[in-house]
């Protein structure tokens, strides 16, 4: 069903019904729309239009004697064609920025605080995903001996982000050998993405001589060195907010969402699946996980140099999209500015 095929009256009534249902959580009847919005048409005309919209799959009746509520398709038409984002006030923007910086400027501090701010402002579940290191371009790699049997590998990408991995070594390796091999790694790998390095490191080190043990160590540990553990890079806050929503009065529904939250890697991969920039809204059964098929997700990517991560909110499909999209977009832009070292006062 093409949106363009809807009449102006159908568009207006659909828009009014969705907004009314979002604010009340009660099925909406023709009389309620006629009284609330004063469209200048009779309740009977509105009733007939609601019937038409239901036949198009945009509305449904939870009970035969009740009013109607939007379907997932109805929400999709509303979000894609009828939604008018609500601008944030200067005070709201200042609060978001100040709150994000409350715990410090480190990546984990900023992301941890961000998900709490998102939850507090939206009354939904706030989620932040750390930047994807495998998309980062290697700036430097350092080999730091900790003991005779342990070596710390520090990977720095061009955005300035860094991560370290401790690996076990079988025998003591001299400082000079470490420095020589470190120079080889930097010479051959700097400028590649970490994902590229993981896939090709064996071939790139195949003709290096004199460092057999270290070469084998780096190759055998490539999954640990070049791939971050996604589970620990997920920050979530506000599960208690969902309990307040009428859609989650059944605690079994909350427990299903908690399962996804507890599986950090699954949640990370799910929220980070979109590669395009900008805001993404995923509604109901568009979600691939059964546990969140009665939810909507509003997500946006932020960037630190050429590395990006994801922030967003999870809540019932009956969410205040017009406000939430503005909150998520502005918050993502603010994180980009903060983590990139830009702290300008103007909003672009």
Confirm if 18 and 70 have CB atoms less than 8 A apart: yes
| Confidence grade of residue 344 (pLDDT, cut at 50, 70, 90) | very low
pLDDT score of 230: 52
State the average pLDDT over residues 181-185: 92
pLDDT (mean) for 334-338? 88
What is the structure's pLDDT at 345? Answer: 42
Sorting pLDDT into bands at 50, 70 and 90, what band is 232?
A: low
Phi and psi angles of residue 2, each rounded to the nearest 5 degrees, phi first: -80, 135
CATH topology (fold) of 3-82? Arc Repressor Mutant, subunit A (1.10.10)
pLDDT given at position 119: 93
Q: Count CB neighbours of 105 within 10 A.
A: 12
Considering 8-22, 53-67, 197-211, the range whose residues carry the highest mean pLDDT is 8-22
Distance CA 109, CA 113 (A): 6
Mean pLDDT of 132-157: 85
- 8 Å CB contact between 10 and 18: no
- C-alpha distances (whole Å) from 239 to each of 97, 141, 316 are 23, 39, 12
Residues 284 and 294 sit within 8 Å (Cβ to Cβ): yes
What CATH class is the domain 134-226?
A: alpha beta
Which tens digits make up the pLDDT trace of 254-294?
Answer: 777 777 776 666 677 666 655 556 799 999 998 877 778 88
Structure confidence at residue 221 as a pLDDT band (50, 70, 90): confident
The residue with greater pLDDT, 276 or 327, is: 327
- State residue 330 phi and psi, 5-degree precision: -70, -40
Cα(83)–Cα(14) distance, rounded to whole angstroms?
11
Residue 173 pLDDT level (bands cut at 50, 70, 90): confident
Instruction: Give the pLDDT mean for 107-134.
Output: 87
Superfamily of domain 90-130+230-339 in CATH is: GAF domain (3.30.450.40)
pLDDT at 324 over 90: yes
Q: How confident is the model at residue 319 (pLDDT cuts 50, 70, 90)?
A: very high
Asked if 85 and 326 touch (Cβ cutoff 8 Å), the reply is: yes
Predicted local distance difference test score (pLDDT) of residue 85: 93
Q: Give the separation between CA 231 and CA 267, rounded to whole angstroms.
A: 8
Q: What is the mean pLDDT of residues 190-195?
A: 89
Domain boundaries, the chain: 3-82, 90-130+230-339, 134-226
Confidence of residue 234 (pLDDT cuts 50, 70, 90): confident
Pick the more confident residue, 119 or 272: 119
Q: Is the pLDDT of residue 346 over 50?
A: no
* Long-range contacts formed by 204-213: CB under 8 A, 24+ apart: 208/184, 210/180, 211/177, 211/180, 211/181, 211/184, 213/169, 213/170, 213/171, 213/173
Give the span between the Cα atoms of 117 and 94, in whole angstroms. 12
Burial of 239 (0-12, 13-18, 19+ CB in 10 A): middle
Mean pLDDT comparison of 42-46, 206-210, 274-278, 305-309, highest-scoring range:
42-46
Q: Give the CA-trace dihedral at 195, 197, 202, 206, to 10 degrees.
A: 160
User: Which pLDDT score, from 0 to 100, does residue 276 have?
Assistant: 57
Average pLDDT rounded to a whole number, residues 21-41 = 92
Please state, rounded to an integer, the average pLDDT across all residues of the chain.
85
Rounded CA-CA distance 86/323 in Å is 5
Of 133-147, 156-170, 184-198, 331-345, the poorest mean pLDDT is in 331-345
């Amino acid at each position: 069903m093409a949106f363009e095929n809807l009449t102006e009256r159908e568009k207006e009534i659909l828009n009014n019904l969705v907004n009314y249902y979002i604010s009340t959580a009660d099925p909406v009847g023709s009389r309620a729309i006629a009284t609330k919005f004063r469209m200048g048409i009779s309740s009977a005309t509105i009733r007939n239009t609601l019937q038409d919209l239901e036949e198009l799959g945009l509305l449904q009746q939870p009970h035969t004697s009740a009013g109607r509520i939007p379907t997932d398709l109805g929400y999709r038409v509303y979000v894609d064609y009828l939604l008018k984002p609500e601008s944030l006030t200067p005070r709201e923007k200042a609060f978001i920025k100040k709150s994000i910086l409350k715990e410090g400027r480190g990546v984990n501090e900023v992301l941890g605080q961000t998900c709490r701010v998102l939850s507090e402002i939206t009354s939904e579940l706030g989620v932040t995903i750390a930047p994807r290191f495998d998309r980062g371009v290697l700036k430097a790699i350092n080999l730091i001996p900790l003991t005779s049997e342990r070596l710390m590998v520090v990977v720095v990408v061009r955005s300035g982000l860094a991560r370290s991995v401790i690996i076990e070594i079988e025998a003591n390796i001299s400082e000079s050998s470490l420095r020589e091999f470190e120079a080889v790694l930097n010479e051959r790998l700097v400028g590649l993405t970490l994902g590229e390095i993981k896939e090709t490191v064996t071939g790139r080190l195949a003709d290096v001589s004199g460092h057999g043990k270290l070469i084998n160590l780096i190759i055998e540990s490539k999954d640990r060195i070049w791939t971050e553990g996604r589970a620990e890079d997920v920050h979530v806050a506000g599960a208690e907010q969902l309990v307040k929503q009428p859609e989650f009065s059944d605690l079994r529904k909350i427990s299903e969402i908690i399962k996804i939250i507890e599986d950090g890697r699954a949640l990370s991969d799910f929220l980070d699946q979109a590669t395009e920039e900008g805001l993404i809204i995923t509604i109901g059964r568009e979600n691939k996980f059964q546990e969140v098929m009665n939810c909507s997700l509003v997500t946006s990517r932020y960037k630190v140099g050429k590395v990006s991560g994801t922030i967003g909110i999870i809540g019932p499909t009956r969410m205040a999209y017009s406000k939430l999209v503005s909150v998520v977009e502005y918050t993502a832009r603010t994180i980009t500015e903060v983590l990139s070292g830009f702290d300008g006062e103007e909003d672009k």
